[in-house]
């Protein structure tokens, strides 16, 4: 019987030499693998008091939409700067070489809303931390963060747990 990790393809030297890219598109394209991932990501939060699912750009949209559907909740995207129409709030975060900015609509959630954050991969935790800060600016309460993959050597899980976050991952890969 396959597990989630068995559906994930590793592509060496992408996007740069020395990087082992963990490609979840092979997981998404397989109906059993995709259902398994969605079910396992939402399982710890089934029955929890959650108002909205938030997906981080871009693969978090695919997973977050499916999880929102399964839980009967709404979905809110957090996007890269300049991708959302209307009034937004933003949060900068550090990349390996430089800085990036995430945005969400300033009316995307109500103060006090209980939120589950979804993405495919947890590396340094910078994107997820930026998303959490955006949600907190609007008064959201993050009840958990769920990911398919953790790269533990990069420290993202420890960073999010230090922020008091409940972090759920389906599998880990060594290396960057």
Q: Which residues are known to be catalytic?
A: 59, 96
Token readout for 36 is 């398994």
| Angle at which helices 31-42 and 59-71 cross, to 10° | 70
How is 59-107 classified by DSSP, letter by letter?
Answer: HHHHHHHHHHHHHT-EEEEEEETT-S-S-EEEEEEEETTEEEEEEEETT
Cα torsion 139, 141, 145, 151: sign: positive
């Amino acid at each position: 019987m396959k597990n989630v990790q068995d559906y994930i393809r590793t592509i060496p030297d992408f996007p740069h030499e020395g990087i082992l890219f963990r490609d979840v598109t092979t997981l998404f394209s397989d109906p059993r693998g995709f259902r398994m991932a969605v079910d396992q990501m939402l399982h710890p939060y089934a029955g929890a008091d959650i108002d909205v699912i938030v997906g981080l750009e871009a693969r978090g949209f695919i997973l977050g939409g499916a999880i929102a559907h399964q839980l009967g909740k709404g979905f809110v995207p957090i996007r890269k700067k300049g991708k959302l129409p209307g009034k937004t709030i933003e949060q900068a975060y550090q990349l390996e070489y430089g800085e990036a900015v995430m945005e969400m609509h300033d009316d995307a959630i109500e103060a006090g809303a209980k939120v589950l954050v979804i993405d495919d991969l947890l590396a340094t935790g910078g994107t997820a931390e930026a998303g959490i800060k955006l949600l907190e600016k609007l008064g959201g309460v993050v009840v958990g963060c769920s990911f398919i993959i953790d790269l533990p050597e990069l420290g993202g899980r420890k960073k999010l747990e230090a922020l008091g976050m409940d972090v759920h991952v389906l599998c880990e890969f060594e290396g960057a």
